[in-house]
Amino acid sequence: MKEFQPIAARPAPIKTVGFTAWLRDNLFSTIPNAVVTLSVIALLAYYLPLIFDWAFWSANFTGTTEDACVKEGACWVFINAWSYQFFYGTYPVEEVWRINLTLVLLVMVIAASFTLPKSIRLKASITSWLLLPVVGIAILDGRLLGLEVVSTDLWGGFTLNVFMAAASIIVAFPFSFLWALGRRSEMPFIRSVSVIFIEFFRGVPVLSLFFMGSVMLPLFFAEGTNVDKLIRVWLVLIFFMSGYMAEVFRGGFQAVPSGQYEAADSIGLSYWQKILLIILPQVIKVSMPNILATFVMLFKNTTFLLIIGIPEVVQTLQTALSNSYWLGGHALEGYLFVFLVFWGSCFSMSVLARRIERQMNTDKRD
């Protein structure tokens, strides 16, 4: 009888791998493609030096006043002089360690969610995430900890954008999960309430929600009660975010095969054990890209808070641009700065999310 002889694996032909093959496949595959490639190179060659000249070689870096900007390039002195306000708003300088501490806590909680030993990771990170908004507000406000009270009127700058977005998503996350569950519920009352809630907050522009939060919401409170403006806006962001995320989760729920529910039922898990131990982790896994997209949207939407006069980073920038000592027209530098700060944050979140996705991907054979 013949014996089965496997053929040894050979390397791929040289024409299909390597740099030149990549160039040919991607940039010069057809004549129109080659033309496009060459024109893009020409455009870059013309404009890049101009941009670099403006941003670096002819730019002004040192100094503290507008008079220091003598060269014709960018006036980075403007950013430098206002950087404290851009980041921290009008928070008192001697108390600014409290903002930094809150930021450090935020970073630590994020890091802990990845690096803690697997046995305690889930419990520890969920607890710390849920505690974070409370602890953060206590530190920033100071009242509960016996620190000097810093009124929310003084909070501002880019850190306010970060805190508003983070505090909203943390609270919105469990809520949106419940809304999504409610929308799938077989009980008509729960289902219709969920549908109405979700569709309302998805169907209304976030700007009008902010106006409602700042102008209309106080009308519903009892006379004499004065709920802080930031808290009202926080509520609006939570509702808005949970409406969107509920739909994200709904998509995730639909992606979990019914066999998972049946298997969980067949070993006798209760409803909530089934949802929390079996279904939720899989829902989060498939929803991860959309959760991030929703969060990035919310984060960028926090700049709309300037409309209702909350001194977040863009509002602070506009204050700086209209300052009588800085009337030389620094809008380009200012908006470029805001652009870079947001882009940097959102890009790092993408990187982080990709890491989470990789960590959660258990399908690959190794």
Burial of 160 (0-12, 13-18, 19+ CB in 10 A): buried
* Contact yes or no for 292/349 (Cβ under 8 A): yes
Of 325-364, which residues contact other proteins (CB under 8 A)? 360, 362-364
Nearer to other proteins, 151 or 273 (CB): 273
Nearest approach in angstroms of CB 113 to other proteins is 16
Nearest approach in angstroms of CB 272 to other proteins is 10
Nearest approach in angstroms of CB 296 to other proteins is 25
Angle at 341 between CA 358 and CA 319, to 5 degrees: 150
Contact call for residue 262 and other proteins (CB under 8 A): yes
DSSP state of 60: B
The only residue of 174, 218, 281, 344 in contact with other proteins, by rule CB under 8 A: 281
Contact call for residue 278 and other proteins (CB under 8 A): yes
The only residue of 130, 273, 347, 354 in contact with other proteins, by rule CB under 8 A: 273
The only residue of 259, 309, 322, 351 in contact with other proteins, by rule CB under 8 A: 259
Nearest approach in angstroms of CB 256 to other proteins is 10
* Contact yes or no for 268/170 (Cβ under 8 A): no
Contact call for residue 269 and other proteins (CB under 8 A): yes
Nearest approach in angstroms of CB 280 to other proteins is 10
Dmax of the chain from CA atoms?
A: 97
Query: How many chain residues touch other proteins (CB under 8 A)?
Result: 24
- Centroid of chain to Cα 303: 12
Contact call for residue 117 and other proteins (CB under 8 A): no
* Contact yes or no for 198/183 (Cβ under 8 A): yes
- DSSP structure string for 165-219: HHHHHHHHHHHHHHHHHHHH-SSHHHHHHHHHHHHHHHHS-HHHHHHIIIIIHHH
Contact call for residue 255 and other proteins (CB under 8 A): no
Residue found by looking up tokens 């027209």 in the block = 329
Contact call for residue 268 and other proteins (CB under 8 A): yes
Nearest approach in angstroms of CB 186 to other proteins is 12
Nearest approach in angstroms of CB 358 to other proteins is 14
- CA-to-CA distance for 282 and 275, rounded, in angstroms? 10
List contacts with other proteins (CB under 8 A).
257, 259-260, 262-270, 273, 277-278, 281-282, 285, 360, 362-366
